[in-house]
Amino acid sequence: MRLVVPVSGSDPKTRLASVLSPDERRDFTEAMLADVVDAVTAAGHEPDVISTAPLDCAAPLTVDDRGLDPLVNDLLASIVTDGDGALAVVMADLPLVTPKSIERLLAPDADVVLAPGLGGGTNAFVCRHPEFRVDYHGASIRDHRQIARDVGASVTEVDSRRLATDIDEPGDLAEVLLHSDGAAADWLIDAGFSLSLTDGRVTVSRE
Amino acid sequence: MRLVVPVSGSDPKTRLASVLSPDERRDFTEAMLADVVDAVTAAGHEPDVISTAPLDCAAPLTVDDRGLDPLVNDLLASIVTDGDGALAVVMADLPLVTPKSIERLLAPDADVVLAPGLGGGTNAFVCRHPEFRVDYHGASIRDHRQIARDVGASVTEVDSRRLATDIDEPGDLAEVLLHSDGAAADWLIDAGFSLSLTDGRVTVSRE
């Protein structure tokens, strides 16, 4: 099983621009990546990080500035189709992941294992089927279910809040403070963020 | 194990008022409740629904207009403290739940099992400890962890996106259309809602 963590290293996390400067967004991206790398490593796997630009990272990092679809589809072609192997892809903006949630992703024996993200994304997957390919645009979880069906692959989904919680928007930051004590949570606390209680869901405020 | 589903039947889901009329909010509440009752029943349990006002429901329904904290704490006192039994409480606005996610909630042997909701809530829990009580205000998941620790209860959390996804705001409706084909999803489709693709997360629009 090859496990790849793709990450956008050049001007990352633009939807956090209202609360973080460009330098802070890069630093926070590195902190989230560190949490993912730590969880994968603690689960007994060796992650390969592929970034669009250089980033600080404790795992082997390759710079590849292609978009996510051509990058991942090339990996699927070389590792699964031609190499007869299995590929796992785990996004880098999942600071809530734990070794156990990584194990749950890797456990099922299906041709394609999908971990849905909030809002229709696909935050992680495992592929053992030579014809499955990705299309991350739009409601990708729907497209990935359909692509898997179209090629006759068996599909299962992992029901994990930790794998589902990608951090894209200011409203997502509360999840990091509520459910993690890793590098991303530490970074947010050091940057002055704390939980803020409103009538509805908990949000964050900054000093 | 007694399993209770509390529901607000009087002017429910006010945070959906921008997209649903009062009558529609009550109908949609009944549809979400039906999904929860179906999942619990299919998992082999008999849910007791307790509503602040009369609602249509396939399970036994009691009307009790107290707030959530006194209601649930009275149940904890009578069923767990005095009755030496176990109580599970599952919120009614979780239309993504499946029999399997209910089984995952009920499986752990801990004194207190918590299922966090998005935004700091506690969407479901199981209690077998006589001193545990609830406080649903604010970031309740943090409070419930602390209350459990304070009384010396063993605690575990269920990592489930389906249990975490409570439907409170218009932005949550997409999750129902993306991940369910139950009564709530049918109701939304009949009411003219469909998925709407934007640059970020998928949302819904209405005809």
C-beta of residue B13 within 8 angstroms of C-beta of residue B28: yes
CA-closest candidate to residue A115, choices A100, A106, A125, A107: A125
ipTM of this predicted structure: 0.96
Residues 6 or more apart from B145 whose CB is under 8 A from it? B114, B155
Confirm whether A183 is domain-assigned.
Answer: no
Mean predicted confidence (pLDDT) in A52-64: 97
Q: Is the dihedral of CA A155, A159, A160, A166 positive or negative?
A: positive
Instruction: Flag if A200 and B168 touch (Cβ within 8 Å).
Output: yes
Residue A178 domain flag: no
Kindly determine whether residue A159 and residue B121, on different chains, have CB atoms separated by under 8 Å. Answer: no
Contacts (Cβ under 8 Å, ≥6 apart) of A108: A126, A156, A158
Tell me how close the Cα of A141 comes to any Cα of chain B, in angstroms. Answer: 8
What range does the domain containing A38 cover? 2-167
**Min CA distance, A82 vs chain B (Å)?**
33
Average pLDDT, chain B: 96
Q: Using CA atoms, how far apart are residues B117 and B179, in angstroms rounded to an integer?
A: 16
Cβ neighbour number for residue A45 with a 10 Å cutoff: 18
Q: How far is A43 from chain B (nearest CA, A)?
A: 16
pLDDT in tens, B142-156: 999 999 999 999 999
Comparing CB atoms, the residue among A100, A142, A160 nearest residue B161 is A160
A112 three-class SS: strand
Q: B199: pLDDT confidence band, cut at 50, 70 and 90?
A: low
pLDDT at A201: 77
Cβ within 8 Å, pair A116-B142 = no
Answer yes or no: do B118 and A201 touch at CB < 8 A.
yes
Q: What is the DSSP string of B56-115?
A: --SS-EEE--S-HHHHHHHHIIIIIITT---EEEE-S--TT--HHHHHHHH---SSEEEE
Contact B179 A118 (CB under 8 A): no
The conformation of residue A193, written as its DSSP 8-state character, comes to E
Contact B179 A116 (CB under 8 A): yes
Interface test with A, best of B118, B141, B160, B162 (most A CBs within 10 A): B118
Contacts of A116 in chain B (CB under 8 A): 161, 178-179
**CB-CB neighbors (< 8 A) of A195 in chain B:** 120, 139, 142
Bridge partner list, A50? A6, A62
Minimal CA separation from B76 to chain A, in Å: 25
The answer to whether B32 touches B95, Cβ cutoff 8 Å, is yes
Kindly state whether residue A184 falls inside one of the protein's structural domains: no
Cross-chain residue pair B120–A163, CB shorter than 8 Å: no
State the amino acid at position B41 in one-letter form. T
**B39/B42 Cα distance (integer angstroms):** 5
Distances (CA, A) of B182 to A126, A139, B47, B101: 27, 20, 18, 15
pLDDT digits (tens, 9 = 90+) for B24-77: 999 999 999 999 999 999 999 999 999 999 999 999 999 999 999 999 999 999
With a cut of 80, say whether residue B190 has pLDDT above it: yes
CA distances to A148, B5, B30 from B184, in Å = 26, 16, 8
Mean pLDDT calculated for residue range B135-145: 95
What CATH number is associated with residue A146?
3.90.550.10
Q: Provide residues of B within 8 Å CB-CB of chain A.
A: 15, 98, 100-101, 104, 116, 118-121, 138-139, 141-142, 159-165, 168-169, 174-175, 178-179, 195, 197, 200-203
Report the residue of chain A nearest B13, measured CA to CA.
A200
User: Can you give the pLDDT at residue B11?
Assistant: 93
Burial classification of residue B48, based on how many CB atoms lie within 10 Å of its CB (0-12 exposed, 13-18 middle, 19 or more buried): middle
**Chosen from A201, A203, A205 to mutate, greatest number of chain B CBs within 10 A:** A201
Structure-token pair, residue B13: 């889901």
> What strands lie across the sheet with A112-116, from one edge to the other?
A61-63, A47-51, A2-7, A87-90, A122-127, A112-116, A155-157
CB B101 within 8 A of CB A159: yes
Residues A46, A43: Cα–Cα separation, whole Å? 9
Domain count along chain B: 1
Interchain pair A139, B200: CB under 8 A:
no
**Chain B residue whose CA is closest to A121:** B201
**pLDDT computed for residue A199 by the predictor:** 65
| CB-based contact B195 A168, cutoff 8 Å | no
- Here the tokens at position A145 are 């279910």
Q: Give tens-digit pLDDT for B153-189.
A: 999 999 999 999 999 999 999 999 999 999 999 999 9
- Sequence-distant (6+) residues with CB within 8 A of A2 are A48, A75, A79, A85, A86, A87, A88
Instruction: Kindly report the average pLDDT of chain A as a whole number.
Output: 96
Nearest-CA neighbor of B36 among B82, B3, B63? B3
Buried b (16+ CB within 10 A) or exposed e, B128-149: bbeebbbeeeebbbbbbbebbe
Averaged pLDDT, A165-191: 97
Q: What percent of chain A has pLDDT over 90?
A: 93
